[in-house]
Homo-oligomer: A and B are copies of this chain.
Amino acid sequence: MISDFKSILSENVLGMKRSAIRELLKLTQDPDIISFAGGLPYPDSFPVEELKQITSEVLDAEPGLALQYGTTEGDPKLRKLIVENYRSYGFDIGMENIVITTASQQGLDLLSKIFINRGDKVIVGLPSYLGGLGAFNSYGGKMIGVCFDEHGMCSKTLEIKLKELKAAGEKPKFIYIIPDFQNPAGVTIPDFRRKEIIELSHKYDVLLIEDSPYKQLRFEGKDQQSLYSMDGTGQVINLGTFSKIFVPGFRIGWVIAHKDIIDKFVVAKQNTDLCTSPFVQKIAAKYIEKGFFDIKLKEIIHSYHEKRDLMLDAFEKYMPEGVSWTRPEGGLFLFLTLPEHMDAEKLFVKAIEKKVAFVIGSVFHCDGSGRNTARINFSYVSKEKNVEGVKRLAEVIKAEM
């Protein structure tokens, strides 16, 4: 082994942290623990029988293409189906506006690879998705946090930050937004706020990243127009994935953007993993074509809606005074705020002893704030365990108060 291993590591890897969530996922393998920690879909929602049938059909119809290398851009049929779906939601896009990625995390990685030089500024929410923060950080991006109000990222604070940067002669590389049922906060940005944020992105000439893994998982309320179609000028890069609305195990995501931007994603992806598995892409395309996707999505929405309701009821019933939480209109998460003096990290240790897990909120805050917050996932465990888990969590919180 080389004499001084640490001395040859890149600045990139020296700055990386192990993902708290990935490490927590390992805990979810203890069957006694009720885990609200991961962002995992409910395994019973997986279309097992449909996939057995479809895989067989794909291997009969196009074995030579399904098992071979594919193009970096992605399977043409899958891209076409996704483009058609987005067009029906008002996206003015064609085949030149999409690239398939190895799930959304690769979208975030390539985004960072394309835009971030070490030390570049990136604007993120307080809180924001950990996988986004991890990707930006892994290329030396410096995060600037913008606080949330009940409508998501606060546009006034956003403008203050943009002004400050401009005054200092700096321009952030992009503003990172998860507009629907945000991970971790569970907040959805309303139309007026979306407009404000888009206007600011034009005024300060900064790209907007719209990370949109949950948009189709709406339980109630009015669907909000996406930032991409609302803008319409190519200022927005939209990230999508099948992980929450089909299966995460296929690792299929996509990026929708101006064709000049997609071109850079394709070049970067060539150097990163050549192509995403054509095998799973072809299975996914057939799954959509056969209409299974739409049927199953309704089932998933129904199931998560029920679970959210049960969990909200259990929170009302069991949580002590002084604890508050968001009421998401969709998605997978709600966000818990504990009394100011409480430390979610200490609570976590106690919670694991009582066999219930969550993610401490501070990891979603690039400035280390949010120490009295926690992310609670309601999609992964069964309805019964959802309620039992909230009971256990409430007891742990009461004991700490």
Residues of B contacting A195 with CB < 8 Å? none
Tally of contact residues, A, Cβ under 8 A: 88
A138's closest neighbor in chain B, by CB?
B271
Are A270 and B43 within 8 A (Cβ)?
no
Whether A274 and B131, one on each chain, are in contact in the complex, defined by CB atoms closer than 8 angstroms, is yes
Determine the chain B residues whose CB is within 8 A of the CB of A88 once the complex forms: none
B114, A273: Cβ atoms closer than 8 Å: no
Contact of A71 with B26 in the complex, beta carbons under 8 Å: yes
Distance in angstroms from A214 CB to nearest chain B CB is: 15
- On whether the beta carbons of B69 and A25 are closer than 8 Å, the reply is yes
**Bound Cα distance from A117 to B274, whole angstroms:** 22
Q: Most chain-B Cβ atoms within 10 A of its Cβ — which of A102, A137, A267, A270?
A: A270
Q: What's the minimum C-beta distance from A332 to chain B, rounded to whole angstroms?
A: 13
Residues of chain B lying within 8 A (CB to CB) of residue A22: 71-72, 270, 274
Question: Which one of A56-64, A178-186, A337-345, A393-401 is at the B interface?
Answer: A56-64
Task: Give the one of A70, A247, A279 with max B CB within 10 A.
Answer: A279
Residue numbers in B under 8 Å from A109 (CB-CB): 271-273
Q: How far is the CA of A136 from the CA of B385 in the complex (A)?
A: 48
A interface residues (Cβ-Cβ under 8 A, vs B): 1-3, 5, 8-13, 16-19, 22, 25-26, 38, 40-41, 43-44, 46, 48, 51-52, 55-56, 59-60, 63-64, 66-72, 102-103, 105-106, 109, 113-117, 120, 131, 134-135, 137-139, 171, 173, 205-207, 233-235, 243, 247-251, 258, 260-261, 264, 266-268, 270-280
Closest 10 A-B residue pairs measured CB to CB? A1-B234, A43-B64, A67-B249, A67-B247, A138-B271, A48-B63, A46-B67, A134-B271, A249-B279, A251-B277
